[in-house]
């Protein structure tokens, strides 16, 4: 996999600044429009749930957000790998953790930064906030204070308190180790385990593995001073002493001889190839130091091809990623109103993750990663974007919580619970992640036609630095350099390939092709020369046509209709040729495709059928099973109107063609999208809400998309141009850098091709 992915300081700052500072906002979940709404939300209506909770505190889980709210708390003394930078500096990290809770498990979370290093003050502050939250996630607090704080809070609070730096790493490590040992034919109780790094995560890993059967004296813990053995006094504390082994070994190098398992939560380069060579047959190596592992998989496999290797990095197989654990642990704990997250719940999470990795991987996951994933040495831990995580892991955690008596409200119907978990998933996020992963596999050479626009240049830099492929910018190098310098990306000039008519050796070939194509359409040789040398859109299209790039992104500086007319000098991107524009709307966890938004001005029934077929192809490229609705202001013939007739006839055209996707019409939008409305028409052939809306005309498509964008805040991707022989995507003039990047990714994945 690519290791080119890197984020520049400018990109990181822009991400946290735009469109508004920070990474989340609070949105009301109940109506707040009328005086009656406000009376119910606050005074006098709020007095009723207040009294109910005063009479029965358990009702706080029913009438407030407590049951789905976690506090992410830090004092900034151990931020990522950066050290003690203070409470305020930790806020971006804690905000990030909060949005990961929401993204992966639909858990509301809010960050709290405590400006103190006094453990007693932190304990007091958090304990006083107990009534507000359903759980506490401690983060980036240095050892040994983190041990003291967590233990005391567990003793005095009646909600889960979980230090993710410790237990999150331990749970995912345990899940991977279960499968690694199965593949190597070993049992945990027989294994010699060496751990390097006696901090919070390392100690938690050994504690969990011992609770799963690892024997105390088979586990050798090392720190910067060597092996932690019984009788050692230097650099010791009570938490290290609890794991001191009876052994004559004194160094990491000695401990590694004959070891079955190495667990690293220490530093880059801590393990040498010689150490790996000395390990037992089929060694298991979890080199989890970030950002660089104790030893790379390449170096480990060079001396021990039989090794199973995991790291903390996403660009290697077997990533030990905490996001596989904490969202789902808390989801399961919150849903049983748990008093704690205990060892049994953590072990249940680890075993469920291990079992999931052994199951057949869904096609959408394989599609997202651009390769078939199956249980084996390079796949012992599920990927973070496996859609099954949300409904597999929390039930296992909840069952363990119920079995061990920490549940206030046990789940009676586990099957129904799994269904509610499935409904919490936001498919749009996984779809976008999937196409980005596929683009990274494709490594397409992407042509960015408008190299004079700073947004385009920033998107081109982001495309290349994200490891998605090669960015080719059409423009003049001095202009490109000047604009990149203005946005703080001066060093990127050396990375991008800047091309124009003045420096290409292919100009004569381009002009020859264009002349042969247009000579009978009123263009003489002078016209051809001007088009090829002065119009960057035509020049970019010629590059694509001749294979000097794999995809094209344009449209940021000119209206889409004008861009399309220029592209048609080189390609057949017309309605007659079957080209279609499909726009994806992402809103509140739903994705709807609307077509045609670009090419077809006033389509007839046969054209509408073509639009449906092209849109179905786009849907499948995105991992959706297409359900097409031909929408109008009428439903199945009423009210009667000649303008609705073609929408009634279009499904009959598809009937004759025998297509392999669901379709129906004509119908209003509410019938197409709302199953309660659809039930009034039991003969309707759609088995679920439509995800493709074919509209009567381009103007109605444009109005619909822009209305959703401006009034509802929908994310718009498109129009996606399909039905053209090469990947070309046309952005809108108000596109952001992220919009342009998304369109480049669409082109790289050949969506709709």
Q: Is the pLDDT of residue 2 over 50?
A: no
User: Span 718-726, mean pLDDT?
Assistant: 92
Digit-coded pLDDT (tens) for 58-77: 999 999 999 999 999 999 99
Q: Which of 90-104, 300-314, 412-426 has the lowest mean pLDDT?
A: 412-426
Active site residues: 42, 97
The answer to whether residue 615 scores a pLDDT higher than 70 is yes
Instruction: Please indicate, yes or no, whether the overall pTM of this predicted structure exceeds 0.75.
Output: yes
So what's the pLDDT on residue 5?
55
pLDDT in tens, 543-583: 999 999 999 999 999 998 899 999 999 999 999 999 999 99
- Say if residues 474 and 497 touch (Cβ distance below 8 Å): no
Which residues are 162's β-sheet partners?
137
- Is residue 702 within a helix (H) or strand (E), and if so which, with residue range? helix 698-707
CA distance 517 to 295: 57
666-704 pLDDT, tens digit per residue, is: 999 999 999 999 999 999 999 999 999 999 999 999 999
The answer to whether residue 487 scores a pLDDT higher than 60 is: yes
- Mean pLDDT of the 488-504 span: 91
Q: Residue 555's closest CA among 708, 728, 375? A: 728
- What are the residues whose beta carbons fall under 8 Å from the beta carbon of 167, sequence distance 6 or more? 204, 208, 325, 341, 346
Helix-strand-coil percent breakdown of the chain, rounded to 5? 45, 15, 40
Task: Please determine, for residue 344, whether its predicted confidence score (pLDDT) is greater than 90.
Answer: yes
Sign of CA dihedral 484, 454, 430, 746: negative
Mean pLDDT confidence for 641-649: 87
Helix (H) or strand (E) run with residue 547 in it: none
- Lowest-confidence segment of 163-177, 194-208, 434-448 by average pLDDT: 434-448
For tokens 């910067």, name the residue. Answer: 224
- Residue 128, Cβ density class (10 Å: 0-12 exposed, 13-18 middle, ≥19 buried): exposed
The confidence score (pLDDT) of residue 373 equals 80
Confidence class for position 6, pLDDT limits 50, 70, 90: low
Task: For residues 423-448, give the mean pLDDT.
Answer: 84
Q: Widest CA span of the chain, in angstroms?
A: 94
- What does pLDDT average to over the chain? 92
Summarize the confidence of residues 444-471 as an average pLDDT: 94
The mean-pLDDT minimum among 13-27, 181-195, 241-255, 423-437 falls in 423-437
Query: Where does 404-453 have alpha helices with state H?
Result: 414-424, 427-442
What pLDDT, on the 0 to 100 scale, is given for residue 717?
Answer: 86
For residue 10, report the phi and psi dihedrals to the nearest 5 degrees: -65, -40
Q: Are 93 and 74 in contact (CB under 8 A)?
A: yes
Q: Of 530, 550, 614, nearest to 579 (Cα)? A: 614
Given a cut of 70, whether residue 3 has pLDDT beyond it is no
pLDDT (tens digit per residue) in 132-141: 999 999 999 9
- Integer Cα distance of 499 and 476 in angstroms: 7
Q: Is the pLDDT of residue 259 over 70?
A: yes
């Amino acid at each position: 996999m690519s290791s080119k992915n890197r984020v520049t300081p400018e990109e990181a700052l822009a991400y946290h600044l735009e469109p508004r500072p920070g990474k989340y906002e609070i949105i009301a979940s109940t109506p707040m429009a009328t005086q009656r709404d406000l009376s119910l939300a606050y005074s006098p209506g709020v007095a009723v749930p207040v009294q109910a909770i005063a009479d029965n505190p358990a009702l706080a889980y029913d009438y407030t957000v407590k049951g789905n709210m976690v506090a992410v708390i830090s004092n900034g003394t151990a931020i990522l790998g950066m050290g003690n930078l203070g409470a305020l500096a930790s806020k971006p990290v804690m905000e990030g953790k909060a949005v990961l809770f929401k993204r992966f498990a639909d858990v509301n979370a809010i960050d709290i930064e405590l400006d103190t290093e006094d453990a007693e003050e932190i304990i007091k502050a958090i304990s006083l906030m107990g009534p507000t939250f359903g759980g506490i996630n401690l983060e980036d607090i240095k050892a040994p204070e983190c041990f003291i704080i967590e233990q005391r809070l567990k003793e005095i609070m009646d909600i889960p308190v979980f230090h993710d730096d410790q237990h999150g790493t331990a749970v995912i490590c345990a899940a991977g180790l279960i499968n690694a040992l199965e593949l190597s034919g070993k049992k945990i109780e027989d294994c010699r385990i060496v751990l390097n790094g006696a901090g919070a995560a390392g100690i938690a890993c050994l504690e969990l593995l011992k609770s799963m059967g690892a024997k105390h004296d088979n586990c050798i813990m090392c720190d910067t001073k060597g092996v932690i053995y019984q009788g050692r006094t230097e650099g010791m504390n009570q938490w290290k002493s609890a794991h001191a082994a009876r052994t004559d070994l004194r160094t990491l190098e000695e401990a590694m001889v004959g070891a079955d398992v190495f667990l690293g939560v220490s530093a880059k380069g801590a393990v040498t190839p010689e150490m790996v060579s000395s390990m037992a047959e089929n060694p298991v190596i979890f080199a989890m130091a970030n950002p660089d592992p104790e030893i790379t998989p390449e170096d480990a496999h060079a001396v021990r091809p039989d090794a199973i290797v995991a790291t903390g990095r996403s660009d290697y197989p077997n990533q030990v990623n905490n996001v596989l654990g904490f969202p789902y642990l808390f989801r399961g704990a919150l849903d049983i109103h748990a008093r704690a997250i205990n060892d049994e719940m953590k072990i249940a999470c680890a075993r469920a993750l291990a079992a999931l990795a052994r199951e057949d991987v869904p096609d959408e996951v394989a599609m997202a990663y651009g390769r078939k994933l199956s249980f084996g040495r390079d796949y012992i831990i599920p990927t973070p974007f496996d859609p099954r995580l949300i409904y597999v892991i929390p039930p296992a955690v909840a069952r363990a919580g119920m079995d061990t008596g920490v549940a206030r409200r046990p789940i009676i119907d586990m099957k129904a619970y799994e269904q509610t978990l499935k409904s919490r998933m936001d498919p749009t996020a996984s779809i976008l992640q999937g196409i980005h992963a596929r683009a990274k596999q494709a490594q397409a050479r992407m042509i960015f036609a408008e190299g004079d626009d700073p947004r385009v240049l920033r998107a081109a830099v982001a495309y290349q630095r994200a490891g998605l492929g090669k960015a080719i910018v059409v423009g003049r190098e001095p202009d490109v350099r000047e604009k990149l310098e203005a946005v703080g990306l001066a060093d990127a000039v050396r990375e991008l390939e800047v091309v124009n008519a003045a420096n290409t050796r292919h100009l004569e070939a381009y002009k020859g092709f264009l002349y042969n194509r247009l000579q009978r359409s009123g263009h003489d040789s002078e016209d051809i020369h001007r088009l090829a040398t002065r119009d960057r859109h035509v020049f970019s299209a010629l590059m694509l046509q001749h294979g000097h790039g794999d995809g094209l992104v344009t449209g940021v500086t000119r209206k889409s209709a004008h861009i399309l007319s220029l592209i048609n000098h080189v390609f057949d991107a017309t309605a007659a040729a079957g080209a279609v524009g499909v726009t994806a709307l992402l809103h509140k966890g739903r994705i709807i495709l609307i077509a045609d938004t670009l090419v077809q001005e006033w389509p007839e029934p046969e054209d509408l059928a073509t639009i449906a077929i092209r849109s179905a192809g786009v849907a499948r490229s995105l991992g959706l099973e297409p359900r097409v609705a031909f929408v109008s202001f009428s439903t199945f013939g009423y009210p009667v109107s000649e303008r609705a007739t073609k929408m009634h006839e279009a499904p009959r055209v598809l009937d004759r063609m025998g297509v392999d996707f669901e379709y129906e019409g004509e119908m209003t939008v509410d019938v197409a999208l709302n199953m309660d409305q659809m039930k009034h028409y039991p003969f309707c052939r759609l088995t679920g809400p439509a995800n493709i809306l074919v509209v009567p005309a381009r103007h109605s498509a444009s109005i619909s998309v822009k209305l959703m964008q401006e009034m509802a805040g929908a994310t718009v991707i498109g129009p996606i141009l399909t039905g053209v022989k090469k990947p070309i995507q046309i952005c809108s003039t108000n596109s952001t850098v992220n919009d342009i990047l998304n369109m480049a990714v669409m082109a790289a994945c050949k969506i709709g091709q």
